[in-house]
Amino acid sequence: MKINCLKVGGRTIKTVVAVFLCLLTGTIRKSDTAFYAAIAAVLCVQRTSKDSFREAFNREMATVIGGMWGMLVLLFERNVWCIPYEAIRYLFLSVLLIPIINFSVLIKREKGTFLMCVVFLCITVTHGNDESPLSFGAARILDTTIGIVIALITNQFPIHHILTKGERVLCRLRNHGVL
């Protein structure tokens, strides 16, 4: 009986390798935010190198812009006005999405708008009360950059011919009951 084998494509393998390298790099760097490098790698490994570079550029721009907005707001909260009530703070942060969205339109980066908003909210909502939220913001930007670089490098390796041979071997082993 012949078993249909699920194919694992080159992009899938490259994504797995890139995520592993991001997490490993995070471990070596003792980074608590390597997860963000892995997310960037998943998003930036694309079908073609051209698509990967386009996605990487959009991702990096959005992360830096959202991160800078987030860190500016945290500096404002720490040094100028600390909002005393959580609900009012959330309203303030939500309203601040308006200038972020408008800024993305102004610089013609509409495709990165949602990422700018996500990074901004990640920094301000989930890490606003950290001992050093600015350090988190900088680490978040750095880890995203690392993930992008790893994804771009990983995506340059042509592994199609290796996968084809490997898939044939695995299918034969499965068909003969070895796996």
17-62 pLDDT, tens digit each:
999 999 999 999 999 889 999 999 999 999 999 999 999 999 999 9
What pTM does this model have? Answer: 0.81
Q: Which two tokens stand for residue 144?
A: 């995203």
Could you tell me if residue 2 is inside a domain? no
CA distances from 44 to 67, 107, 117, 148, 177 (A): 19, 21, 18, 6, 37
pLDDT confidence of residue 136: 83
pLDDT confidence of residue 166: 62
* 172 Cβ contact list (under 8 Å, min separation 6): none
Tally the domains of the chain: 1
Could you tell me if residue 65 is inside a domain? yes
Quick one: DSSP state of residue 5?
P
CA pair distance 48, 50, nearest whole angstrom: 5
Could you tell me if residue 168 is inside a domain? no
Burial class (CB in 10 A: 0-12, 13-18, 19+), 61: middle
Could you tell me if residue 176 is inside a domain? no
pLDDT confidence of residue 66: 97
Could you tell me if residue 148 is inside a domain? yes
Domain of 28, in residue numbers: 10-158
Tell me which residues of the chain have a pLDDT lower than 50.
Answer: none
pLDDT confidence of residue 94: 98
